[in-house]
Structure 1
Amino acid sequence: MAAPLSLLFGDAEDGQLAWQEQALCAQTDPEAFFPEKGGSTREAKKVCASCEVRAQCLEYALANDERFGIWGGLSERERRRLKKRAV
């Protein structure tokens, strides 16, 4: 059974995080999104690829400097590269 969204993302009190209720990761094993160092990200990225809130998830991760896990279909390293290119 997947963890409730509030455990993964915190409470969405003001509606800004309402997209999280539609996130496919909330219906999946959360451990897939936080693999061990050197572990496969394939399963998480596969879920992200068909998620309708992928863009909002990635935007959240970039804005909040999420350093761990797969967010919006990108790993930590991929998000760092994306941020560097945007600067």
Structure 2
Amino acid sequence: MVVRDAAPPPDRRRRVVIQIETLPWAAHAKCLQADPETFFPEKGGSTREAKRICGECPVRNECLEHALENDERFGIWGGLSERERRKLKRMAS
């Protein structure tokens, strides 16, 4: 089953893109070459394309680590939705 989280408001998405661009590994992030909306689908929207892009990204692990450390609550980070990241955190504790 694909988990679909609600998208954050547009201003939050813009802040996230700016935030990503400042991270040391961001120059290699595949997501910066794609439409940010892909990574923040509306509730019920598909996450397939975002996860495909993440699957090809050389900094996927760094991205996921960032999302886990910063408790990112929206969007696809490191190939996982917020719900999938929560599950990963529970399994790790």
Query: Do both proteins adopt the same fold according to a TM-score greater than 0.5, normalized to the shorter chain?
Result: yes
What's the RMSD between the two structures over aligned residues? 1.8
Give the alignment's TM-score, normalised by structure 2. Answer: 0.79
For residues 65 and 84 of structure 1, do their structure 2 counterparts lie closer, same or farther at Cα, with a shift above 3 Å needed? Answer: same
Q: Provide structure 2 residue ranges, at least 5 long, that are not aligned to the other structure.
A: 1-13
- State the aligned residue count: 79
SS class of match (2:52): helix
Higher relative contact order (CA 8 A, sep 6+): 2
Deviation at 1:37, TM superposition (A): 0.8
| 1:35-54 correspondence runs (5 A) | 35-54=41-60
CA distance in 1, matches of 2:88, 2:33: 27
CA deviations 1:20-78 (Å, max 9, x no partner) are: 11100000011000000111100000000000000000000000000000000000110
AA of the residue aligned to 1:71: W
Q: Equivalent pairs: percent with the same residue?
A: 63
- 2:28 aligned residue: 22
| Over 3 Å off, 4+ runs | none
Provide closer, same or farther for how the CA distance between residues 63 and 7 of structure 1 changes in structure 2, counting only shifts above 3 A.
closer
TM-score by length of 1: 0.84
Q: After the TM superposition, which residues 7-86 of structure 1 pair with which residues of structure 2 at under 5 Å, given as runs?
A: 8-10=17-19, 12=22, 17-86=23-92
